[in-house]
Amino acid sequence: MSAMLEVRGLSVSYGGLRAVDGVSLEVRPGEIVSIIGMNGAGKTSILNAVSGILAPEGGEILFEGESIGGLPAYAVVARGIVQVPEGRLIFGTLSVEENLSVAAHQRSGFMLRRRDRPDLRRLFPALADKLDRPAAGLSGGEAQMLALARGLESGPRLLLLDEPSLGLSPKLSTEVFGLIRRLREQGITILLVEQNVRRTLALADRAYVLESGRITLHGSAAELMSDERLVSNYMGVSAPDSSNSD
């Protein structure tokens, strides 16, 4: 099967420092692929380069065979790639409904119309009852659900998830990971960045390990799970899920 997303020799600099240095990776249709690594390893920079938030310094990014490197973010979204950013970045002054409508910007007509959202009720029942509330009043878990729901609004084929379980309780993390699995069942391909290595490897098909901007290890999730170096480096520190903060 050919790759849906192919990144070749990607370099990204951020604030004068080279955050990503010659990274190559690929994501095939229907896969959940994960990038794991410490804080500051360059995981978010890779996602931001793919989604057009950061301009790549070198290398190629191909989506379904076409180069998308350096395109502005709105053009990347138009092609079917949506990033759910770290820290959720929901619009607190807008209502839940408006948050969803903003994300559907490219698909909606000039006048906003309240749409039926059968998927929302099925996947995010807690949000469906709070459509008219200001998003600032949501709890942390609900805010993360809204960030995910918002990511789906423009009908993406590839979803880039940046630390979706960050700051959530173990119970809510379980819910988020379950949701990611359900999204894949719906045919959405997922590139996932996470610090919670154990849970991520249990969910992903394949994973890449990123250290100081370079890929040092990659393979199927099962292979990596039995890799001793990885286990000692990452599993130890990632045990309590809710202690992540930055």
Partner 1 sequence: MIDFVQNTVDGIMFGSSYALLAIGFTIVFGVMRRLNLAFGATIMLGAYAGTWLHVHHEVNLVVVALTTLACTVLAGIYVERLCFHAVRRDAALASMVSSFVIWMQLEEVAIHLLPERTYAFPSLFIAGSFEIGPLLFRGEQTTMLVLAAVMVGALHLLLQRTRYGLALRAICENPRAADYMGIDTPRVMLCAFALVSLIGGVAGYTILATDEQITPFFGLWATFKGLIAMMLGGMGSLPGAILGGLVLGVVEAHALWYLGNEYKDLSAYVLLFAMLVLRPGGFMGQRILGREELAFRRV
Contacting partner 1 within 43-72 (CB under 8 A) = 51, 53, 72
The DSSP annotation for 36-52 comes to E--TTSSHHHHHHHHTT
Total residues binding partner 1 (CB under 8 A): 39
User: By the 8 A CB rule, do 161 and 180 touch?
Assistant: yes
The dihedral through the CA atoms of 32, 52, 194, 133 has a sign that is negative
**Should residue 77 be labelled a site residue for partner 1 when binding is judged by CB under 8 A?**
yes
Which of 38, 62, 94, 235: binder of partner 1 (CB under 8 A)? 94
Report 139-158 residues binding partner 1 (CB under 8 A): 140, 143, 150, 154
User: Phi-psi bin for 162: left (phi > 0), alpha (psi -120 to 50), beta?
Assistant: beta
Using the rule CB under 8 A, which residue among 136, 222, 237, 239 binds partner 1?
A: 136
CB of 183 to partner 1, least distance (A): 17
Does 12 sit near partner 1 (CB under 8 A)?
A: no
Burial 153-174 (b: 16+ CB within 10 A, else e): bbebbbbbbbbbbbbbeeebbe
- Binder of partner 1 out of 13, 108, 212, 242 (CB under 8 A): 108
What is the length of the chain?
Answer: 246
- Asked whether position 82 contacts partner 1 by CB under 8 A, the answer is yes
Question: Using CB under 8 A, which of 9, 40, 67, 106 touches partner 1?
Answer: 106
How many CA atoms within 13 Å lie on the side-chain side of 17? 8
d(CA 22, CA 11): 5
The answer to the question of residue 117 lying near partner 1 (CB under 8 A) is no
Residues that bind partner 1 (CB under 8 A): 51, 53, 72-74, 76-78, 82-85, 87-94, 98, 101-103, 105-106, 108-112, 134-136, 138, 140, 143, 150, 154
